[in-house]
Amino acid sequence: MIETPQITIRKLRNRITTSKFQKTYISLMIESRGSLTDEELIHLLKLGVIFLNYGDDSIQRLGYRIIVRYSNLNDEYRPLYDVAINKGFIPVSKFIEEHHFSIAETESFFKTYFSSYQDNFSQNGIYLSYGQKKLIEFSQATQGDFVLIAPTSYGKSEIIVNKVYQYLNQKICVIVPSKALLAQTKKRILNGVRGSDVGRIITHPEMYRGDEQSFVAVLTQERLLRLLQKNPKLRIDVALVDEAHNMLKKEERAVLLVQVMMILRKRNTSCKFNFFSPFISSALNLENPRSSYKLLTGRSEEFIKVERYFTCNTLSGNQLFFYDQFLNQFTELPSQRYQSDTQLILDKSAGKNIVYLNRPRDIVNFALRLSGIINTEISVAKIQEATTTIGDFLHPDYNLLKCIECGVVYHHGGMPELIRLYVESIFSDNKDLRYIITSSTLLEGVNIPAEKIFLLTNKIGRRIFTKSQFKNLIGRICRFSEVFDKQTGRLSMLEPEIYLIKSQYEAISANHASFLMTHAKSDIDLEDEVENILLKEETSLQTQVQRDELRKTLEYLENIEPDTVELPGMVYVDSQIAQLCFRNNVYDFNIAENEARLLNNIEEFGSNNKIIDTESLVNAIYAIFIYQIDVTSIALKRLENFPARRFYSMILNWRTQGSSYKEMITKFVGYWNSLEDKVVYFGSAWGEIKRNQEDFVENYIDLSQKSGAERVNLAILKIKEEQDFVEFNLLKYIEILFEIGLVEADYYEKIKYGTSDKRVISLLKNGFSIDLAKCITSADYAPFININTDTDIIEINGLIPEVMDANGENKLLIFEVRYHMRSLT
C-alpha cells in the first residue's frame, strides 16, 4: 500500500503563491454565494477532504474550514455532516440532522444508524462532542491530581460541578479567581442534577462552624487563607482550582494562591488538586517544586469552531481586511471602507455583540458615543423596567440608563457588583440589548451570549494580550449552548467573526496586522509564561533579586503556616501584632523589619480605651501601621495626610450606618458640593488633569467643570473604588486592631458588616448584599424567613419574590433574592 505523503501548513504556504487553490480558497472565504463555479467548489471540497486526512494539525483545520464555509455559504450540509460524524463532532452532526435534513434523509438506513450512534453522546438532553465526552470520562476516572485543559465553552464548569458531587462526603473547596464568581459557581452547584444533596455552601470563612465532617466551600484564595488561619486544624480533602492559569502570573494574588495550595498539601498530604483552564501548554508549569504533586493531563484539541478575523484602521486608510490564519495573509475587501469604529460596528454587528476596551473610562465613553449614534429609544416593557430598576437603586442620572434605552450596556470593574450581575442577566435575556461594551472582566468565566466581538484595543492592563489571553477572549463568542440551541442556533456561528479596529482608543504605534500574525496564525505555539516565583526552581533564577524575592515569599509563607517549607536561617516574628500582620496578608511593608517599630507604635498609642468611632479608628491605623514605617503602598501612604484621614473617617462612618448605594451617592455629591477646592483626587483610571506642574500623571478631576449628572456618575465610580480600598486595604488593619483588643466588639461588627444585627450579618456571610439583607429582615418578611445566627443557616419561603413584588420592592433586590433562591428553598 502506497502511503499518501503528509502535508504541512508551512509547505502549503510556500507553494500556493498565485495558485488556483489560493484564488478559489480566498474567494470562498470573502465572497458571497454563487461567486465560484461548480467545478471550483468540487475542487475545494476534494482538497478539504485530503487536508482532513493527510495533514498536520493546521492543515486538518484548514480542511475543516473549507467544508464548514462551503456548507454555510451554499446551505448544503451533507459534506459537513460526514466530516462531523467522522471527527466525532456530534453536536454538529445532530444539529444538521434535526435542522437541515429532510424526513426522507433522516429515515434512511445509514442516517438511522448514525443517529443511534450519536445517542451515545447524549447527556442531560445535550449532545457532547467526542472530545467533551473524553474529558468528562477522564475527570470521572481520575482520582488523584490532574489538570483539565479545554477551550472556552467546552463544559469545564459542568465538570467542576460533577467533581463536587463526586466528593460530597468529603471537605471540598472550589477556588475561584474573583468575588464575582462566588455567587455564579454556588448557583451552578445548587442548580445541578444533585444540587439538592449539597445543602449549604460555605462562601465566607465565618460560615464554617468547625464541626462539619464534610462540606462544600466556594472561596477566593483570600477567603480560603482566612478560613485556614482561623481554623489551624482544618484539613481540606479536595481543591478544585478554576481558571488555574492565573497561578502563573507575577501578581500578589497569584503568589497567594500558590501559598494556599502549599498550606493545603502541608496539612493534608492526600489532598487532591484538580486544576481547570482553557489554556495551559504544559502541566509541568503548574507543578510546584516545593510541594509534592504530579499532574495527569486531560486535554482536548478539537476544532469545532474556526474563526474569521478582520482588521481595519479607521484612523488611516479605513480599509477593511480579511486575515486568513492558515495562509497567514491579508486580503483587502473591496468597497468596504469605514470612517469610524462606530460605523464599522453598526454595519457588521450581529444580534449580540461584545465590544472590548481596556480602560473603564473608555468603556463608558464609547458606550455613550454608540448610544448617541443609535439614538433610538427602545419602548419595550423589559427595557423600561431595567432602567427604572437601576435608576431607583442608584440614581436616574446614571449613564448606563441612557445606553440601555438604545440597546447598549457596559460592564467593568468600577461598577457595583450587583449591577454588573444584573447587566449580565438582562443582556443575556433581552434580544433588544445588542451591544455589551466590556473590559477583561469577561475573561474570568463570565458567560454571556454573543456572536461577534470587536476589539478596539489589543491591550489588557498595560500589556498587549498574550496569545493565551487573546484565545480565551475570542472563545467567549459563539458558545456551544448558542450555536446548537434548538430554537435559535445556527451553524454559521461555527465561524465566529473577530474584528480588530484601530481607533482613538488604541496607541498610535499599535500594529494589528503584526498582532494577528503573532497571535492568530494557525501554527503558532502557545507557551506558558511562568512568572510566579513560587513555581520556579531556585536553580533557574538568574539574578540575586529573584533569589531574594523567592526567599522573602517563602519567609512570608512560613510565618503564616510554620513548617510548610524547609528554609535555612528562617526568622519568625515573635510579637502578636507582627504575627497578625502575616495572618491578615499585610504586604504594605516588611513586617519582620518593622516589628520593633510596630511594638513601639502600639505602646505609644496606648490601650486604655477601646475604639468606638471612625476618627479614632483611622488615626489608630495611621499611628500604629504607618507612622515612621517604610510603607510601600502609595494608596495607604495617603493616610499620612490629615485630610485623607478625615475623608476615610467619613467613608467608614457611612459604612457603620449601613448606607445604601443611593444614600452614599447623595452623601458624596453633598460632600463635594461643600468643598471650596473642587479639584479632587481620582487616580489614573479616571483622572483628567494634573494638580501641579510637578505631577507626572493626570490623577485629578475639576468638579467645578462638571454638571450635576456628571458628579452623580463620578460619585458611583468613587464609591466603588473607595469600597474596594476599605475592603482590600483598610479592613485587614481593622481586623488586627480588633484581635489585639483595641476595637469594641459591637463597633467592629458595624465597621465590618455595616450593622451589628446578627440576622443581617448571617445573610451577608451567605453572599447577600446589605440592601437585600436589611430589606428581608424587616417585619414585612418575618413569616417568610428563618435565620439561625449560630450556624448561619437560612431558610426562606419560596413565595418571597412575589411578596416583595407586591410590596413594591426594587426589582434589583427581587432579582438578587431569586439568584439565591435555589439554595434557600
474-506 residue pLDDT tens? 988 999 989 999 999 999 999 999 999 999 998
Q: What is the band of 606 on the pLDDT scale with cuts at 50, 70, 90?
A: confident
Residue 581 pLDDT: 94
Q: What is the mean pLDDT of residues 741-762?
A: 93
pLDDT class of 2 with cuts at 50, 70, 90: very low
> Residue 113 has what pLDDT?
58
Whether pLDDT at 111 is above 80: no
Mean pLDDT confidence for 112-128: 74
Cα-flanking dihedrals φ and ψ of residue 311, to 5°?
-145, 145
Rg (alpha carbons) of the chain, rounded to whole number? 29
Residue 402 predicted with pLDDT over 80: yes
| Shared fold status for 130-299 and 335-519 | yes
Domain residue ranges of the chain, discontinuous segments joined by +: 9-123, 130-299, 335-519, 587-604+612-739, 757-821
CA distance 493 to 393: 37
pLDDT for residue 791: 81
On average, the pLDDT of the chain sits at: 90
Q: Is pLDDT at 109 greater than 70 in this prediction?
A: no
Instruction: Select the more confidently predicted residue: 115 or 168.
Output: 168
Q: What is the pLDDT of residues 141-153, one digit of tens each?
A: 999 999 999 887 7
The confidence band for 393, taking pLDDT boundaries of 50, 70 and 90, is very high
pLDDT given for residue 254 in this prediction? 94
Q: Looking at domain 130-299, what is its CATH homologous superfamily?
A: P-loop containing nucleotide triphosphate hydrolases (3.40.50.300)
Q: Tens digits of per-residue pLDDT, 537-556?
A: 888 888 999 999 999 999 99
Per-residue pLDDT reduced to its tens digit, 345-385: 999 999 999 999 999 999 999 999 999 999 888 889 999 99
pLDDT of residue 697: 87
pLDDT computed for residue 445 by the predictor: 62
Please give the average per-residue pLDDT across 306-325, as a whole number. 95
Which residues touch 214 (CB under 8 Å, ≥6 apart)? Answer: 168, 169, 170, 171, 172
Residue 354: closest CA among 521, 472, 510 = 472
- C-alpha grid cell, residue 270: 492526600
- pTM for the whole structure: 0.93
Of the candidates 590, 561, 589, 592, the one whose C-alpha atom is nearest the C-alpha of residue 574 is: 592
User: Could you give the percent of the chain with pLDDT greater than 90?
Assistant: 68
408 pLDDT tier (thresholds 50, 70, 90)? very high
CA distance 769 to 755: 12
| Amino acid 114: pLDDT | 63
Which helix (H) or strand (E) covers residue 648, if one does? helix 642-656
C-alpha 655/C-alpha 724 separation (Å) is 12
Whether the per-residue pLDDT at 180 is higher than 90: the answer is no
| Cβ–Cβ < 8 Å for 500, 309 | yes
Is residue 775 over pLDDT 90? yes
CATH class of the domain defined by 335-519: alpha beta
Model confidence at 824: pLDDT above 50: no
Residue 309 pLDDT grade (very low, low, confident, very high; cuts 50, 70, 90): very high
Q: Which residue has the higher pLDDT, 766 or 47?
A: 47
Confidence at 35, pLDDT banded by 50, 70, 90: confident
- Structure-model confidence comparison of residues 568 and 113, the more confident one: 568
d(CA 620, CA 613): 11
